[in-house]
Structure 1
Amino acid sequence: MSDRDERYYNAQLNMQQCSRRGLFRALWSGVSKPVKASTQIAAIRSVPRPPTAVEEALLNRLCDGCGKCEEVCPQHVISMLEEKPTLTLDGGSCTECGECQRVCPTLSLANTSANGVPSTGAVAALSGMCVRQMGAPCQSCEEACPHQAIDTVNRSVSIKTELCSGCAQCRVACPSHAIQMVMR
């Protein structure tokens, strides 16, 4: 029966006619087969992307490397790496203004996240000695975070990674450079 299925699809690809019986046989054979479990693993981002970028595999297919997002970024944190938009968060932060999404002709920057928090693929992490841990009354990172992902309680700082978009606004605001951006 698999021969007939192949013949049907070959006929369709070659624009040959197929009988109604052949059509239903091919459709029914696809329905009657057990569904195989999907073994595809979503590609994990290796570099930070603009916050509204689609998943990595789709981005690689959609993005044509035009560079319009790089040109329009008011913070100048988008750069093209291997013809794909990459966030350079070493010296700046993303304000999630949406300009890159607006100018993207291929819709590769048109993702909307399920939980409402955009993601660059990076997340904030404490990497050094926070002045708060030394007793100074600092809340710069908490105030700079647009998603309330940082809590400053007593002398500690806690980062809720599920709320962190990876924009690096907290890293820029930190006076002691105690926050770095790491990939999820």
Structure 2
Amino acid sequence: MINEILWPVATLGGLAIFFGVVLAYASKKFAVETDPKVGEVRAVLPGANCGGCGFAGCDALADAIAKGEAPVNACPVGGAELAKKVAEIMGVTAEETERMVARVICGGDCDNAKQKYEYQGIQDCKAAEMLAGGSKSCRFGCTGLGTCERVCPFDAIHVVNGVAVVDEEKCTACKKCIEACPKHIIELVPVSKQVRVLCKNTEKGKAVVEVCKVGCIGCQKCVKACQFEAMTFDNNLAKIDYSKCTNCMVCAEVCPTKAIYADFSKRKKAYINDELCIGCTICKKNCKFEAIEGELKQKHKVLEDKCTGCAQCAVKCPKKSIEMR
């Protein structure tokens, strides 16, 4: 009986040792050399595996960066700080880029947008979209059933009063919400830009007013008021060219329906340091709002009630005597 037990055990043990040796030898003999930088890059990546970089996950991104197939700032989650760390590992310089955040281009909440019917189906935007475009009368507006909220891995977007709202502090620009939105009303915008058009309705004014109180009616007052050619008008909609926008917020001030949102609490004002100002009048000449007064070789003064915070005076001042705060 003992032999009947020992021999099979010994045989299996011997086979295990034999195949273990063979596999160990094969792993060394046929091992594929990997770039050590892959591991170093992977170690500093956040591990979110959100796919916002365009790759399958952090492992795939680390491999692509090590091979030079992806830039060092490809990870939207880590931002500028992570890009610097990856750049140090790769021995290159990271380009300075502004952090992007997702923003929902719709102001049609339950108070502003009219309803066609009471939806009682599956709580999913795509499902509701198949039923006459959703319950809101505006077929371009946010469905408000939280599909974007559920796919966000960072808890950065929530439905508030029928419209999805992004928490910009948590947003990593991973694009998950953008891909999930059936209305395609979520866009990536530079975080510093405090102005946005909250409407995607391409119909004409009368049709817009019938379905939403805060829709863009195509009056183009914003286009005429913008002093920096940042406001454009296309397909019955006002649009912002953020490469030209200075955060002056004048477009939001003149919009009759408040379809253009601006965070006026973050509007800055220019202040001139008398000790540094030489009275060159360059700031005065560049101010498009006549918000600076003063004669040549005299100390200049900012008229706060006229200053829009566009910062062009600070940009042009040769003595850096103007501070925005």
Does 1 or 2 have the higher relative contact order (CA < 8 Å, sep 6+)?
Answer: 1
Which of the five TM-score ranges fits, normalised by the shorter chain?
0.3 to 0.5
Larger Rg: 2
Q: What TM-score, normalized to structure 1?
A: 0.39
Q: What TM-score, normalized to structure 2?
A: 0.24
